[in-house]
Amino acid sequence: MPEVNGKIKGVLFDMGSTLLEFENHSWEELDTRSISALYKFLSQSDHRLPDFSEFEKSFRSVLAEYWKTTDQTLEEKPLMHLLELGLLRAGFERNGLNMEQLGRVFYQPIRNQITEYDDAVGVLEWLREKNLALAVVSNSIFPAEYHLEDLRTFGLAPFFQTTLFSSEIGRRKPHPEIFNRALSALSLQPEEVIFVGDRMREDVLGPQQLGIRAVLKHHPKRDYSLGANPMATVKSLRELLPVVERHI
């Protein structure tokens, strides 16, 4: 694809490991905590539960199958769908259960260990002062409402004109639909924005397929062997500022 040049009018951000750190523990550990919290919550009801080992095995198999499939199809299913599948596989009747409540129980152990990057607010303030349109474009099985709450908790929500999560769109990055929706929401063209994220396939190759310039925010837990050429690689959000300044 030809190199894209010109002035930008907006910046699109991934959320996890870009604006907020979700991986202060491994996802395997977080799955264990979430499944355990769900089991503990359900054990307080009148429903009969299988042994925890069987319950955990059922949920892990559902999640493993889902991630394998969605990696190929880029189709996103919401958390409630996966919880229903897990309960069904565990032989648990969902009759009378409040699925929204179960979703929050499952998410809480993840939320409890989210941390902020200490330069995020300052960088977003600088970008806003430059009159750049800002958006969040992120993959997640969790409801958008949960993540909006997270962004508000850390004081980031007011900076963004729009927030888009794959759970509400039904397609994951690098599928073009989620990027196109962000561009439409901001009334901008691909060449007028920069995308910032920590994953090569989703956050660099995905945007570049549409003619969006991409900045890779390096993360020590990622595999960057996939060939791609971001316009810049940064180790912190603060390092993004001179990159943006050259294009405004």
Query: Rounded CA gap, 105 and 146, in Å?
Result: 12
pLDDT given at position 82: 97
Strands 10-13 and 193-197, sheet pairing: parallel
Q: Name the β-bridge partners of 233.
A: 216
pTM for the model stands at 0.94
pLDDT given at position 4: 64
Query: Rounded CA gap, 207 and 180, in Å?
Result: 10
Of 34-48, 150-164, 202-216, which range is least confident?
34-48
What one-letter code names the amino acid at 101? Answer: Q
Q: Is 90 exceeded by the pLDDT of residue 8?
A: yes
Tens of pLDDT, residues 115-138: 999 999 999 999 999 999 999 999
Q: Is 90 exceeded by the pLDDT of residue 23?
A: yes
pLDDT given at position 1: 46
Percent residues over pLDDT 90 in the chain = 90
Distance from the Cα of residue 227 to its chain's centroid:
22
Handedness of CA 60, 64, 69, 75 (dihedral sign): positive
Query: Rounded CA gap, 226 and 165, in Å?
Result: 24
Tens of pLDDT, residues 79-118: 999 999 999 999 887 777 899 999 999 999 999 999 999 9
pLDDT given at position 94: 72
Helix or strand holding residue 178 (H, E): helix 176-186
Helix or strand holding residue 183 (H, E): helix 176-186
Query: Rounded CA gap, 155 and 163, in Å?
Result: 14
Percent residues over pLDDT 70 in the chain = 98
Residues in Cβ contact with 17 at an 8 Å cutoff, skipping those fewer than 6 apart: 23, 198, 217, 219, 221
Q: Is 50 exceeded by the pLDDT of residue 2?
A: no
Q: What is the mean pLDDT of residues 143-168?
A: 99
Top pLDDT among 142 and 46 is at 142
Average pLDDT over the chain, rounded to an integer = 95
Rounded to the nearest 10 degrees, the angle between the axes of helix 27-43 and helix 52-73 is 130
